């Protein structure tokens, strides 16, 4: 186990380095610079700005500087917000995105698994049809449409909840609903289909023959085995949702970090592109690692370290 973790750790570092390098060269190959604006500044001002951000140096020097900034995790000041370091932007945005993401994931996992399980147990019954109708709608309605409708109905027309901004637990309800519907639907569908498969297995008959209570059969024997595909998608889903979503955060004016991924690229804000990409990829790689570990716990047949016997 320990050897496996160490091995994975080095692979993670290598993956992040490759991603970082690709990002750096891709980023510099896009035409345009952070100072390209409709109002063109005159050459002197452009030169002063480039010098300030060390963009006047040759690419390999910039690359070396960049590797150093990854190693020390200090990406310097943002170009569009010169008073703030990229670290500060991420440190401020991430906890908020994480908080919203965590609540969303919890809602999605609990309601998705519950819906999916009931749908599978009442296969082709009313509950099944209702749950799957919900899932189809949940997957096909984009969250920004849902967000706008929720604000208009719940906040403006009924005046029940605040429409936007991020200042109290009440402000969290609408964005969580808008954000969780899609993942809930996906999880519900996955749970249902994988439960249906598990329920036809021989060991289910065996469990029933043993005279176990239905509750126990579903929870201990069926659900646990049916959870594998959900754990698989959880890694990417967690990384995606916890690091913020551009659209939902923009619509609800939530000061998370989702906007940096999109805006930094539009603005060619190199330090922010680098910072957010490295952060996101590190987070994603770590989540995938966690998923692999969880596999082992859920299904003892999956061996993390294959040559355990030889070692």
Is 106 near another protein (CB under 8 A)?
yes
DSSP H helical ranges for the chain: 2-29, 43-52, 59-72, 86-121, 126-140, 143-150, 169-199, 202-210, 214-216, 224-226, 228-242, 246-251, 258-267, 270-298
- Cα dist. 100→64, 146, 241, 246, 249 in Å? 36, 17, 8, 13, 10
Among 29, 297, 307, 310, binds another protein (CB under 8 A): 297
Q: Give yes or no for residue 168 binding another protein (CB under 8 A).
A: yes
C-alpha pair distances (Å), 134 with each of 73, 112, 162: 43, 11, 26
Our finding on whether 167 is near another protein (CB under 8 A) is yes
Q: Which residues pair with 254 in a beta bridge?
A: none
Please, what is the minimum distance in Å from the beta carbon of residue 238 to another protein? 11
According to CB under 8 A, which residues from 265 to 284 bind another protein? 266-268
Q: Are 241 and 258 in contact (CB under 8 A)?
A: no
The whole-angstrom separation of Cα 198 and Cα 223 is: 8
Minimum gap (Å) between residue 152 Cβ and another protein: 6
CB of 20 to another protein, least distance (A): 21
* Binding span for another protein by CB under 8 A among 92-100, 116-124, 195-203, 278-286: 92-100
Nearer residue to another protein within complex by CB, 63 or 166: 166
Half-sphere exposure in the Cβ direction for 217 (13 Å, CA): 19
Q: Is residue 29 involved in binding another protein (CB under 8 A)?
A: no
Site track for another protein across 32-71, x = CB under 8 A: xx--xxxxxxxxxx-xxx-xx-------------------
Give the pair of three-digit tokens for residue 142. 């984009």
Interface residues with another protein (CB under 8 A)? 30-33, 36-45, 47-49, 51-52, 80-84, 92-93, 95-96, 98-99, 102-103, 106, 148, 151-152, 155-156, 159, 162-169, 171-172, 250-253, 255, 259, 266-268, 294, 297, 300
């Amino acid at each position: 186990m320990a050897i496996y973790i160490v091995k994975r750790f080095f692979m993670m570092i290598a993956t992040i380095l490759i991603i970082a390098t690709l990002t750096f060269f891709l980023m510099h190959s896009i035409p345009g610079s952070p100072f390209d604006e409709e109002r063109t500044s005159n050459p002197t001002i452009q030169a002063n700005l480039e010098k300030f951000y060390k963009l006047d140096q040759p690419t390999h020097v910039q690359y070396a500087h960049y590797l150093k900034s990854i190693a020390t995790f200090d990406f310097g000041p943002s170009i569009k917000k010169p008073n703030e370091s990229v670290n500060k932007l991420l440190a401020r945005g991430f906890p908020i995105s994480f908080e919203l993401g965590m609540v969303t994931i919890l809602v999605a996992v609990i309601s998705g698994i519950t819906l999916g399980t009931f749908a599978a147990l009442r296969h082709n019954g009313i509950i099944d049809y209702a749950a799957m109708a919900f899932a189809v709608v949940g997957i096909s309605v984009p969250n920004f449409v849902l967000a706008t409708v929720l604000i208009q109905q719940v906040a403006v027309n009924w005046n029940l909840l605040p429409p936007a901004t991020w200042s109290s637990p009440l402000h969290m309800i609408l964005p969580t609903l808008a954000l969780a519907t899609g993942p809930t639907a996906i999880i519900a569908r996955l749970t249902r289909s994988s439960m249906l498969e598990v329920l036809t297995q021989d060991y289910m008959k065996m469990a029933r023959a043993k005279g176990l209570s239905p509750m126990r059969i579903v929870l201990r024997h069926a659900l646990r085995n049916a959870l594998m595909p959900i754990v698989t998608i959880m890694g990417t889903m967690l990384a995606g949702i916890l690091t913020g979503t551009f659209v939902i955060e923009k619509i609800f004016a939530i000061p998370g970090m989702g906007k940096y991924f999109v805006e930094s690229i539009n603005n060619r804000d190199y330090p922010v592109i680098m910072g957010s990409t490295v952060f996101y990829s590190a987070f994603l790689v770590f989540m995938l690692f966690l998923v692999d570990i969880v596999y082992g716990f859920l299904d003892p047949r999956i061996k993390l370290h294959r040559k355990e016997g030889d070692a």
